[in-house]
Amino acid sequence: MADDTREEQENLYGSALYWQKELDNASNYERDWRERGNIIIDRYRDERGGYTIGGALSRKFNILWSNTETLKAALFARMAKPDVRRRFPDPNPVGREVAILLERALQYELDTNRADIPIMAAMEDYLLPGRGVIWVVYEPVLIKEKIDVRIEAEDKTTIVQETEEIERLGDQRCRFEYVHWEDYRESPCRRSEDATWRARRHLLTRDELIGRGFRDAEDIPLNWMPESSEYNENELYNRAEVWEIWDKVQRRRLYVATGHKTVLAEDDDPYNLEGFYPCPTPLIAVRTTDTSIPIPEYTLYQDQAEELDRLTTRITFLIEGLKRRGVYDAAIPELAHLANASDNEFVPSENFSNLAQKGGLAGAFQTEPIGEISSVVQGLYQQRQAVLQIIYEVTGISDILRGSTKASETATAQQLKAQYGSMRLRRRQDDIQHYIRDLFRIKAELIAENYEPEFLQRMTNMEVTEEMLEIMREDKLRSYIIDVQTDSTVFENEEEEKRNRIQFADTLGAYLIKAVEVTQASPDLTPLAFEIVKFVAGAWKIGRNFEDTIEQTEMAIMQQLEASRQQPQISPEQQM
């Protein structure tokens, strides 16, 4: 009886009904966050609706848009470049060739597929609703060809020629694909790293369902439709909601359609990745350790942003009332033309003596006092500036990052402000850089294990040997030898970069002069001198660019020393 129950549970686990319930649970788990995310995006887009104050349309100070655009540039200024090197600097020519090959392949894919576009889209999701997701997709391109086949007849006297259609591998592609924040689900857990499954949604037409070879493609309901009423009435815009689910427990991928009873397709561990998932842990803006649900950053200063809107609305209404208005004596009609008089224009008066008797212009009309309103407006401006400063302190966007400085500030003061303001941003910059590095590592793993040698040779202009293939194809061997990193995703300070390079050149140059003198006097100290060169160069980030050159120079000099030792020594008598 227990065996039957277990078998029934296993069958249920693999069914479409089970996974649809899992997806529903995940959607309900994050429902509040998704509703909040849509509200924040409407706020970013400044879609006001009919919100009014006192019967008049409210005015907004879109600090969310301003902060988001500032953070976009500060966190992701440019696309990182892959930097593939040997994990350890031991002499290993094959490992060096594999590293160069993978770096060229990654750079080729980077240039041809514009990887920065999906990353910028994920960055926007990261800064607004709070979660950014990118999928690494591997696509082998199959080409159908017709070939002529010669078949020998049964009597072995005649040969029949027939045409046969075959499929061959035409191309191999690996790209980054942006996943919208509402098209992503994962199993409810405390940390995203602990998710037992991850899924993404595809909206497919009937032809696309058939083209992918799904089971029952003709019967899958097209139950998704656009929200706009312009398209709802036309069934041509309907789509099937298909979920691509990666189950880490059983290491398999399966496809399930909303409202359909059977699994459309499934395959066991299609990519054979070390971490299984074709995507790194999602970018999360604000996280806690008790739930994997993100917290949008805007919610941390939402109250202050709403106060900015209220202050801006009041300032607008009060400024609207700051007009020069008053009353005048109707017995002196010339005063009605005085308000429209231009500069240096004098309005004639038929009864000037009467105007003079009433005390002149001061006695003929009176203006509405606006001094109190003006002081209130000035106070509102000061209050709004104070609220803005609170928001910048909450978000960590310093004055120097916004380009706002005072003339009285010294260069040292501005540098301290920049360092203080970038403390939290630097951690977030590191998170972005590590996320892109993980994307490159997944892509490098897919290229190393799946790309055929002829495609790699075309992409990199390098010959692929059997030894190189052995390293690339074996997971453990590749991870022991090769390490994939990236350069920075933020703009470097040009002046600081110049100072670092000059300091590096001066330090290394001064040491090399002394090292040459010492090794000429005592060749046995050559290995120690090269170890010190590596140690000194490793202190600078730019020193990594010289690692290969230093190793090649060391190998060449050590070979020369070894050859000189093996030559027979000639005595002075023999020299004479």
3-state secondary structure of 419: helix
**Whether residue 168 has pLDDT greater than 80:** no
List of residues 6+ apart from 70 with CB closer than 8 A: 397, 401, 402
What is the spatial distance between Cα 514 and Cα 516, in angstroms, rounded to a whole number? 5
Phi then psi for residue 115, to 5 deg, are -65, -20
DSSP 286: B
Least confident of 296-305, 306-315, 378-387, 479-488: 479-488
Cα–Cα distance list, 163 to 88, 284, 438, 548 (Å): 54, 56, 47, 54
Cα–Cα distance list, 498 to 176, 281, 495, 505 (Å): 34, 36, 5, 11
What is the spatial distance between Cα 453 and Cα 462, in angstroms, rounded to a whole number? 10
Span 325-341, pLDDT tens digits: 777 767 677 666 776 77
Name residue 82's amino acid: P
What is the spatial distance between Cα 329 and Cα 490, in angstroms, rounded to a whole number? 69
pLDDT for residue 485:
77
pLDDT for residue 418:
56
Scanning 396-410, the segments in alpha helix (DSSP H) are none
What is the spatial distance between Cα 192 and Cα 281, in angstroms, rounded to a whole number? 6
Whether the predicted model's global pTM rises above the 0.85 cut: no
Span 9-37, pLDDT tens digits: 445 666 889 999 999 999 999 999 999 99
Phi then psi for residue 141, to 5 deg, are -100, 115
pLDDT for residue 55:
47
Torsion, Cα 463 466 468 473, to 10 degrees, reads 130
Span 536-560, pLDDT tens digits: 777 766 666 677 777 778 787 877 7
pLDDT for residue 33:
95
